[in-house]
Copies of this chain bind each other. A is one copy, B any other.
């Protein structure tokens, strides 16, 4: 690998000038610029970005910590982020947090140590205070799927409460009177918001709330399967089931079928997220769309904006959920 110094020799200029043409940082006469470009080309010169980082105190890399690297939800998000950052010539470093506070903190520190200029954080276990302290330390970041007091301007999330409300309301509109709910884990804020919206819709429509019709899962399909079996055993009849996410809906549907129910006639189901696979569940899953792609793009653009002053049009997003009507919802028999 050739260096800036070799280029400067070949072009007959100083290394400072070479640096200038690389960065367009200050005026260089067209003549010398040409000479430099030619020399670079001839040597196949590629700037060493490590050296650039050290000297400029800017690494042009952005760290992303995300709960999991697998799962359609995270995949879509990561994809959008990479696309956006990449087109701005920024490197993306990733680390998984696995929804564990220690691992999440470690991931963040790990990325910071590597001189990431900014972070995009999808963290669920780390405390609000830790995040506020991060800001105090001068770290630039955006926060996905979470609202933290004091960090409002850098938080991006959808209105989970509204989504939960919509799903339940739709069930009621179609005619269901007895509706079961399988929620995500209690320690996940989005799960609790979705649940809160559901309960409120029930209340607003003067429907009774039976504790036996609520099951707390953990967002996995296994908990959806297990949850459905529990609800079914409870003895209280229900014709509708709302799930905190699509994975659990998929699991619940499997369980319902094993128990001999015909879907959607015996049971209507609504999921949440509009995950990739929800079209391939049978019956095709009616669900609440989570505009995760948009959130990915916007979070990346905001980081680009606040860190490098890059202007972008996609700095705002619509945090309203949307009902995607497919086949798993029908009127009760």
Pair A110/B91 contact, Cβ less than 8 Å: yes
Pair A91/B93 contact, Cβ less than 8 Å: yes
Pair A94/B113 contact, Cβ less than 8 Å: no
* Distance to closest chain B CB from A112 (angstroms): 8
Pair A50/B59 contact, Cβ less than 8 Å: yes
Segment with Cβ contacts to B, from A5-13, A69-77, A183-191: A69-77
Least CB separation from A257: chain B residue:
B282
Q: How many angstroms from the CA of A31 to the CA of B281 in the assembled complex? A: 65
* Distance to closest chain B CB from A243 (angstroms): 13
Chain B residues with CB under 8 A of A113: 46-49
Chain B residues with CB under 8 A of A47: 113
* Distance to closest chain B CB from A297 (angstroms): 14
In the complex, the count of this chain's copies comes to 2
Least CB separation from A68: chain B residue:
B79
Pair A48/B115 contact, Cβ less than 8 Å: yes
Pair A281/B279 contact, Cβ less than 8 Å: no
Per-position 1/0 for A274-312, Cβ under 8 A of B:
001101111010000000000000000000000000000
Which residue from B48, B79, B94, B284 sits with its C-beta under 8 Å from A92?
B94
Chain B residues with CB under 8 A of A54: 48, 50-51, 54
Least CB separation from A277: chain B residue:
B277
Closest 8 CB pairs of A and B: A70-B75, A282-B282, A277-B277, A250-B280, A69-B79, A69-B78, A50-B53, A70-B79
Least CB separation from A111: chain B residue:
B91
Q: List 26 A-B contacts (CB under 8 A).
A: A46-B109, A46-B113, A50-B50, A50-B114, A50-B115, A51-B54, A68-B75, A68-B79, A69-B75, A69-B79, A70-B75, A70-B76, A72-B75, A82-B95, A91-B114, A92-B94, A92-B95, A93-B94, A221-B279, A250-B280, A253-B282, A254-B282, A277-B277, A280-B280, A280-B281, A282-B282
Q: Which residues in chain A, 59-89, are within 8 Å of chain B measured between CB atoms?
A: 59, 61, 68-72, 74-76, 78-79, 82-83, 86
Known A69-B78, A69-B82, A280-B250: A93·B95 in contact at CB below 8 Å: no
Known A50-B50, A221-B279, A257-B282: A94·B114 in contact at CB below 8 Å: no
Least CB separation from A115: chain B residue:
B50
Interface-centre pick from A46, A50, A75, A114 (highest chain B CB count, 10 A): A50
A179 at the B interface (CB under 8 A): no
Q: How many angstroms from the CA of A247 to the CA of B31 in the assembled complex? A: 57
A96 at the B interface (CB under 8 A): yes
A251 at the B interface (CB under 8 A): yes
Which residue from B49, B61, B82, B280 sits with its C-beta under 8 Å from A221?
B280
